[in-house]
Amino acid sequence: MTELSAHLPQFQHGQVTENFPDTHLSNTNDNSERRRHDNTERRRNDRPESETNGQPQNNIQQVVEQDEEEDEELTLKYGAKHVIMLFVPVTLCMVVVVATIKSVSFYTRKDGQLIYTPFTEETETVGQRALNSILNAAIMISVIIVMTILLVVLYKYRCYKVIHGWLIISSLLLLFFFSFIYLGEVFKTYNVAMDYITVALMIWNFGVVGMICIHWKGPLRLQQAYLIMISALMALVFIKYLPEWTAWLILAVISVYDLIAVLCPKGPLRMLVETAQERNETLFPALIYSSTMVWLVNMAEEDPEAQRKASKNSTYDKQAAARQTQNEDAEADDGGFSQEWQQQRDNRIGPIESTPESRAAVQALPSNSQTSEDPEERGVKLGLGDFIFYSVLVGKASATASGDWNTTLACFVAILIGLCLTLLLLAIFKKALPALPISITFGLVFYFATDNLVQPFMDQLAFHQFYI
């Protein structure tokens, strides 16, 4: 156990970094495109903001007109598509967590607590327990806040190396150590005999491929799968090591914190997103789940026009490789469409200096491109911390609820609906939004309500075999 705690602080750092920038949902890459679409729409409605786009407007006015309705229709249709693109990984993560909790008893055994939650909850009085859990939650939250601010400061002062090192260490830890434990426990549960050499080989392969996929290039599906897996692993660790009331309190407080951090002008997450947008970079690929490139792959399979896009992608890759050797920056691989798109624009139009005016001007241009290019640019990104906390909620529900599957199902539906609403708000407000508050609120409400109210009711009904 001591050995575990020794590793955990290191891991905790990693976890927190994964935690905080991810507790927001952003469509940063969408923003440039949405701005473009907004501008096209606004031009039609003769709103004053259209001046930001400069001269090219007049020339393409007519082309813009026909594309507008398609744009709007696309907005909504692909809105639904994006919701589904996010539903699937969130569901998968939750399913993995719930399946593990149900089958592997390791994660429901109380084996002690993290050093971040020093106060125990096995106390004599309820008041003492409440106090302890509040203190635990306070400590945890302050750790998270400190880490967040540290990361933002590092990002602002361009200490990319430090951040990358931090991320790499934490993902190393996750990928190797925690999956080793997980695998060990699964084998123990199913009574499968396994020798160390095979295990070492498997873990080594898993870990190395994971590192490559997440931090460098890799097939999108594989990267998504790895991100889901590490989110599930993290969530499992949380479920195991956080005592009851502390866990619920932390969930509640962290959704409040998320709200504040992303929406307040001085909030650290908001500053992070804005800085990233100013520098036109993508946020760290290891911390954000992106669904954008999926479109590319799908289009390539089913759309003849995508052949051209595929060629554009190859130019992008070369450019990306060139850029990478220039900045030694591994951030270009997560499907950051704003860069890719700009690269393509540059290819078509000729190298343009990336000044704000020219960028704005160029952004107005692509209306003459086919609308089929639009879906490429509409991707939604969800932070990994969101995955983790959703899974923690559902996992805790399935682990400790008396209502068992009913409660789990209820929380699951509640979280999905919350996600839907958040994405709806995202489509309306078009800027980075916290993904946690709505879903976690719904989830918590439904958990406590289902556990205490619905469960006795359903039990009685099932007993008498009444149906409602």
**From the list 36, 81, 129, 270, which residue makes contact with another protein (rule: CB under 8 A)?**
81
Site size with another protein, rule: CB under 8 A: 40
CB nearer another protein, residue 196 or residue 467: 467
According to the binding rule CB under 8 A, does residue 216 interact with another protein?
A: no
Contact call for residue 449 and another protein (CB under 8 A): yes
The secondary structure of residue 291, as a DSSP letter, is -
Helix (H, G, I), strand (E, B) or coil at 335: coil
Give me the 31-70 binding string for another protein, x by CB under 8 A, dash otherwise. Answer: --------------------------------------xx
CB of 402 to another protein, least distance (A): 11
* Residue 303 binds another protein, judged by CB under 8 A: no
Q: Residue 155 in contact with residue 3, Cβ under 8 Å? A: no
Does 333 participate in catalysis according to the annotation? no
- Of 415-444, binders to another protein (CB under 8 A) are 416-417, 420
118 close to 444: Cβ distance less than 8 angstroms: no
Which of the residues 223 through 282 are near another protein (CB under 8 A)? none
Candidate ranges 109-117, 252-260, 302-310, 408-416; the one touching another protein (CB under 8 A): 408-416
Per the structure block, which two tokens stand in for 362? 């160029």
| Residues with Cβ within 8 Å of residue 132, at least 6 apart in sequence | 119, 120, 121, 123, 246
**Residue 446 Cβ, how far from another protein at the closest point, in Å?**
7
Stretch that binds another protein, among 79-87, 195-203, 288-296, 302-310 (CB under 8 A): 79-87
386 included as an active-site residue = yes
Interatomic CA distance for residues 232 and 396, integer angstroms = 13
Angle between helices 405-429 and 436-449 (to 10 degrees): 160
Q: Is 398 in the site for another protein (CB under 8 A)?
A: no
CB of 293 to another protein, least distance (A): 18
158 sits near another protein (criterion: CB under 8 A): no
Strands 288-290 and 381-383: antiparallel
Query: Catalytic one among 22, 258, 333, 334?
Result: 258
Closest CB 411 distance from another protein, rounded Å = 10
| CA–CA gap between residue 324 and residue 235 (Å, rounded) | 32
Distance (Å, rounded) from C-alpha 34 to C-alpha 10? 39
* 394: contact with another protein by CB under 8 A: no
Instruction: Report the residue from 52, 315, 406, 441 that binds another protein according to the rule CB under 8 A.
Output: 406
Neighbouring residues of 75: CB distance < 8 A, sequence distance ≥ 6 = 37, 378, 427
Kindly give the residue spans of alpha helices, DSSP state H, lying in 242-305.
244-263, 268-278, 292-302
- Decide if 432 contacts 460 (C-beta within 8 A): no
Q: Closest CB to another protein among 320 and 397?
A: 397
Q: How far apart (Å, rounded) are the C-alpha atoms in residues 95 and 127? A: 35
190 binds another protein (CB under 8 A): no
How far apart (Å, rounded) are the C-alpha atoms in residues 192 and 188? Answer: 7
Instruction: Let me know: does 283 contact 28? Beta carbons within 8 Å.
Output: yes
Kind plus residue range of the DSSP H or E element containing 290: strand 288-290
Task: Report the residue number, 70 or 357, with the smaller CB distance to another protein.
Answer: 70
In the complex, minimum distance from the CB of residue 295 to another protein, in angstroms, rounded to a whole number = 13
Nearer to another protein, 55 or 465 (CB): 465
CA within 13 Å, CB half, 120:
7
Stretch binding another protein (CB under 8 A), from 2-10, 25-33, 81-89, 263-271 = 81-89
Q: Is 278 exposed, middle or buried (0-12, 13-18, 19+ CB in 10 A)?
A: exposed
- Residues β-bridged to residue 288: 383
Report the residue number, 147 or 299, with the smaller CB distance to another protein: 299
Instruction: Tell me which of 49, 51, 65, 72 binds another protein, using CB under 8 A.
Output: 72
- Asked if 76 interacts with another protein (CB under 8 A), we say yes
Write down the least CB distance from residue 30 to another protein, Å.
17
Contact 414, 441 (CB under 8 A): no
Stretch that binds another protein, among 56-64, 266-274, 379-387, 397-405 (CB under 8 A): 397-405
* Contacting residues toward another protein, per CB under 8 A: 69-70, 72-73, 75-77, 80-81, 83-84, 87, 403-406, 409-410, 413-414, 416-417, 420, 446, 449-450, 452-454, 456-458, 460-462, 464-468
Catalytic site positions: 258, 386
